[in-house]
Structure 1
Amino acid sequence: MSVAQIANELLPAAGLSEHSDLFSKHKISGNVLVGLTDEDIRELLPLLGDRVALRNLVEPLRAARRVVRSNKEILRWTEPWTLCIGVNNCCTCSSTPQFRLTSTYLEVKRMRNCHSTRNTVDLQAIEDLREESTWCVCVKCLPFNICGCGLHTVHIETNDPSEGTILFYVKEQESKELFSTIRNAIEQHTNEVKTVKL
């Protein structure tokens, strides 16, 4: 929402039209409005009743923004060389793990020849994230790693009983960016949840 829409439509509808000029002066748009903290609101509006009315106006907007953000995809990837990784007889019932990271959850989809599973892990459930170098995942499958470059294993420890520890492999050259993207999404989600609880 624009500054004009906030000042001329939203505030009057909430009975706060006397503050329209103040909101225009401070250039409070929709994005700024949903990001206002309690301290910001106290500074803007001296009367308790007006502050409560503004909080009641802002909370549904924040909830709507959270819903939109929760479905916003940040990254999607598939594990490399998945025909062989983790399979005893190399490719008997191959696993093709696919991952989808949004701003609130990590979706893990394991597709096999015989069946597939899908699990969604809330980013709040992630307790630890680490990465380590892995040069040979499966000795029987070494020929499939034709380029000879290493793999990195990413470990995601969760408190989600249905998922536990999530392990996946990424190419060495992609690992830093992927690891950083996941870590940043977790931190941003954690900060948003803290803000909502305030």
Structure 2
Amino acid sequence: MGIRLSTIDRRKFERLAEIMEMNNEVVGLLSTYLTDCPNFVTEELIHNFCEECGVPEEEAFRHLLIVACGLNIENNVRDRQLAVNYLMPAVRKLDPQEYRTNPYYMHLRIPQVRFGDWELKYEKYIPYEAFVCNEIVLDEDFKEIPQIGFFDTEFSFPAVMQNNNEWMAIKPNEVETMQ
């Protein structure tokens, strides 16, 4: 059974299919980055980039992330679209104090203990380490914009681990979704 679409509806469908493909591609790029090299961007790289280009840290981080994801924004139109439409709006420099003063984070204290395979401990993000910081944002064109954050200072958070695998942690993403 064939579905007949008007020319306008066919174009809309093709555009949605292209957006879905780009949504998946960006998730793949960021998943690889966050899994394989979330610490690629360092304080030294950021400061050098900011000094040489005269841009704020957030802007420097965005450009370094684009490079780390292997996108060639100067010579590849698709890569430029992914960078401009997804990665640039995805990245935010976060204020660690905003999370440290959150009542959920502030009042939860755990001892650092181990029992069997389980451990209660404090993990940390190092300065400029990338992490998921909130839910995906869906824009009016159905682009799914991941939310990637970083701090310019170390940020510690309580975590429950089993065999060195995280079961639960009070990270910015959890604080945001609790709100």
Bigger Rg, structure 1 or 2: 1
- Give TM-score, length-normalised by structure 1: 0.21
Tell me which of the two structures has the higher relative contact order, counting C-alpha pairs closer than 8 angstroms and 6 or more residues apart: 2
